[in-house]
Amino acid sequence: MKHPIRVAVIKLIWGQIVFAALIFFAAGTWAYWQGWLFLAVFAALNTSSIVYLAMRDKPLLERRLAAGPSQEKERPQRVIVSLIRLTFYASIILSALDHRFDLSPVPGYVSVIGNVITALSFLATYWVIKANSWAAANVSVAEDQRVIDTGPYAHLRHPMYAFSIWIYVGIPLALGSWWTIALIVLAIPVLIWRLLDEERILQLDLPGYAEYMTKVPYHLIPYVW
């Protein structure tokens, strides 16, 4: 891979361009303060992530950049990642369309709360990556990887997924839509499919993971599942 920081910055810029195009084309107007605020918050969150990893864990930054269907080794995971991306982009487009046609208007203060939820969901992942330097964006096992059972992993097997699912609440509210939150009903089964298939791979390839599953029985919600 090329210099990871340069790659991360380029991906950030292109990502913002794509998000802006999706948001304002769907909204049908540039006069959409919720869209501008969301773009600013998302850019700040992604920039802080790049800076944090560049300063604290460059190998993890490189692993996090290896994202997308093409980076997955097994076909089920390629399908899963494609579906996750589809629901993510759908949450942006449908939220902006909802705002455009005033289908389920959200008060301004609720849009601000939506940005806070998105930010907290994103920032909570810092706790995860601080505990687990092998938290790659694809399902893989590194040669030197070991089981992590500290920090959030002492309570949940998949804290990254548990925190990230909240963006399906935060993004619609941030962009001014109640109805689009319903996409979470589609996103959660895909996420569960991913983590169960990931556990299958980790049990085969990561020594000690089967014992860890016995020690930490909860996948996403403490004392529930």
The residue with greater pLDDT, 130 or 166, is 166
Name the pTM for this structure. 0.90
The tens digit of pLDDT for each residue in 127-156 reads 888 888 888 777 788 788 899 999 999 999
The tens digit of pLDDT for each residue in 9-60 reads 888 899 899 999 999 999 999 999 999 999 999 999 989 888 888 888 787 7
The tens digit of pLDDT for each residue in 167-224 reads 999 999 999 999 999 999 999 999 999 999 999 999 999 999 999 999 999 999 999 9
pLDDT at site 133: 84
Class of domain 4-215: mainly alpha
pLDDT band at residue 2 under the 50/70/90 scheme: low
Query: 8: closest CA among 88, 56, 66?
Result: 66
pLDDT at site 162: 94
What integer is the mean pLDDT of 107-117?
97
Is the per-residue pLDDT at 106 higher than 60?
A: yes
Is the per-residue pLDDT at 1 higher than 60?
A: no
- Exposure pattern of 160-199 as b/e (b: 16+ CB <10 Å)? bbbbbebbbbbbbbbbbbeebbebbeebeebbebbbebbb
Dihedral sign for Cα atoms in the order 156, 212, 207, 130? positive
